[in-house]
């Protein structure tokens, strides 16, 4: 698994520096989604049991809600019923359910707002799963905490839960780690692959089904680039661009063309152009060097995004777009980013985890346009303005240059297009919109311009 006193605050937004409404980090959990925008603000949406969104409530959110007011968040990782995040200063934060000590604060008390874990400021990488977490520090040491009694997936040689981060072994050359529900996958700086925890379905890919409560090296290879742990399966990427998988396979999640599980890491197809991978509980995602997105495995409520709910036993291309850079699945929904940092979401939406204001699942990607505002750029309309701002009912356009405005599109604060008109383009009726921040894009003769406005 990779809002306030409205009128006073929103009027002040107009005078703030204009920034891209884009995302630098997104992470799907089981029933929720977390994200960090390019401006360093933290957002959450979907299910909110035990305060796992971090907004101080337990209220479900069907639209992204801003978490606090800080703008120094760097990366976020959504787990099963909790979340982790790193700030730019290297500090580690957590919130949500804490029944197994997964918040790492030394207690078993749930937290509905981000709480700092310890005082260290040298955390470099985090990975949250259902009830446990793994992390790497700047010095290459490996750490784990939370649930450990079932499979020993923390790798500390015990099967006891840990309510504070503990160092795993003494090695200081860890490069990458992925925490899964039952097993953990990691890569060292020398390119070697390591796993520990549950191996009952051969998810280690080392030719047997023997589990381990300490890290063990998988094979002798030193050319591994990325590796991820799902529920009972593993997907890994080599430096030569080949894709590999092992473990449980009843739904075709290994992409090998069968439903037969394997305890040997097996190459998926023959392609050498895979660039990055994503994983869910029971599916696999991968992006090629040309930016195309591919998926296989379980497909409940359109989890794979191909317009169906049929499982796929081989890697299947999702749509025709070639601008994907990141994709990951929680339990039954998928979140992805494009080259311009615009977000897309699809799959199950029972708790509003797609963030599109509904509970209806989507079998295709729901796209959130990345709206950028700033200084004048090439092909931007000039001498055109909108008024009044804020507005309660009608927004007008002052068009000094006399350009014929061909299209008016309105987007919500998260980049979702909510209205479009191709006539009477001297004004737009916003009376039926809810109060909040919106964006308007005008196009004319091959040029365009974006505006931010407030509906009061």
What class is the 384-455 domain? mainly beta
* CA 387/CA 428 separation, integer angstroms: 11
Nearest to 183 by CA among 109, 279, 257: 279
Kindly list the averaged pLDDT for each block of 10 residues, start to end, along the chain of length 456: 36 34 92 96 97 98 95 98 98 99 98 99 98 98 98 98 99 98 98 99 99 99 98 98 99 99 99 98 98 98 98 98 97 96 96 95 91 53 83 83 78 81 82 87 81 87
Beta bridge partners of 307: none
Contact between residue 348 and residue 361 where contact means Cβ atoms under 8 Å apart: yes
What class is the 19-368 domain? mainly beta
**Cα of 317 vs its chain's centroid, Å:** 20
User: Is 384-455 in the same CATH topology as 19-368?
Assistant: no
Structure-derived torsion over alpha carbons of residues 53, 58, 62, 65, reported in degrees to the nearest 10: -50
359 cis-preceded (ω within 30 degrees of 0): no
Nearest to 295 by CA among 319, 275, 325, 318: 318
Greatest CA span in the chain, whole angstroms? 74
pLDDT at 299: 98
* CA 61/CA 166 separation, integer angstroms: 34
Q: Is 38 strand, coil or helix?
A: coil
* CA 46/CA 357 separation, integer angstroms: 10
pLDDT at 446: 75
Q: What is the pTM assigned to this prediction?
A: 0.84
Domain positions in the chain are 19-368, 384-455
């Amino acid at each position: 698994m990779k809002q306030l006193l409205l009128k006073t605050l929103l009027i002040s937004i107009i005078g703030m520096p204009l920034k891209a409404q884009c995302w630098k980090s997104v992470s799907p959990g089981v029933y929720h989604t977390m994200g960090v925008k390019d401006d360093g603000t933290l957002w959450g949406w979907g299910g909110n049991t035990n305060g796992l969104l971090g907004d101080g409530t337990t209220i479900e959110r069907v639209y992204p809600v801003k978490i606090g007011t800080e703008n120094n968040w760097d990366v976020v990782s959504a787990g099963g019923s909790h979340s982790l995040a790193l700030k730019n200063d290297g500090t580690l934060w957590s919130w949500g359910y804490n029944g197994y000590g997964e918040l790492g604060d030394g207690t078993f008390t749930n937290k509905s707002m981000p709480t700092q874990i310890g005082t260290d400021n040298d955390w470099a990488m985090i990975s949250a799963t259902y009830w446990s977490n793994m992390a790497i520090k700047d010095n290459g040491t490996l750490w784990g905490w939370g649930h450990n009694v079932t499979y020993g997936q923390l790798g500390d040689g015990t099967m006891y839960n840990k309510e504070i981060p503990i160092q795993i072994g003494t090695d200081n050359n860890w490069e990458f780690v992925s925490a899964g529900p039952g097993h953990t996958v990691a890569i060292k700086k020398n390119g070697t692959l390591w796993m520990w925890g549950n191996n009952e379905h051969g998810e280690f890919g080392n030719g047997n089904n023997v589990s381990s409560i300490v890290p063990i090296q998988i094979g002798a290879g030193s050319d591994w680039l990325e590796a991820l742990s799902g529920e009972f399966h593993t997907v890994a990427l080599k430096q030569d661009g080949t894709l590999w998988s092992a473990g449980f396979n009843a739904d075709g999640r290994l992409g090998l063309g069968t439903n037969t599980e394997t305890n040997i890491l097996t190459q998926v197809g023959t392609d050498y152009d895979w660039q990055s991978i994503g994983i869910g509980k029971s599916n696999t995602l991968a992006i090629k060097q040309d930016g195309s997105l591919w998926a296989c495995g379980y497909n409940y409520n359109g989890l794979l995004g191909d317009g169906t709910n049929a499982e796929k036993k081989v890697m299947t291309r999702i749509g025709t777009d070639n601008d994907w850079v990141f994709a990951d699945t929680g339990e039954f929904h998928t979140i992805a980013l494009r080259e311009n940092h615009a977000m897309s979401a699809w799959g199950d939406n029972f708790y509003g985890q797609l963030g599109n204001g509904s509970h209806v699942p989507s079998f295709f990607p729901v796209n959130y346009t990345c709206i950028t505002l700033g200084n004048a750029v090439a092909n931007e309309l000039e001498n055109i303005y909108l008024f009044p701002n804020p507005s309660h009912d009608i927004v007008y356009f002052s068009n000094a240059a006399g350009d014929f405005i061909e299209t008016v599109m309105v987007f919500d604060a998260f980049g979702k297009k909510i209205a479009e008109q191709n006539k009477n383009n001297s004004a737009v009726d916003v009376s039926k919109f809810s109060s909040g921040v919106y964006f308007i894009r005008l196009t004319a003769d091959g040029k365009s311009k974006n505006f931010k406005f407030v509906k009061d």
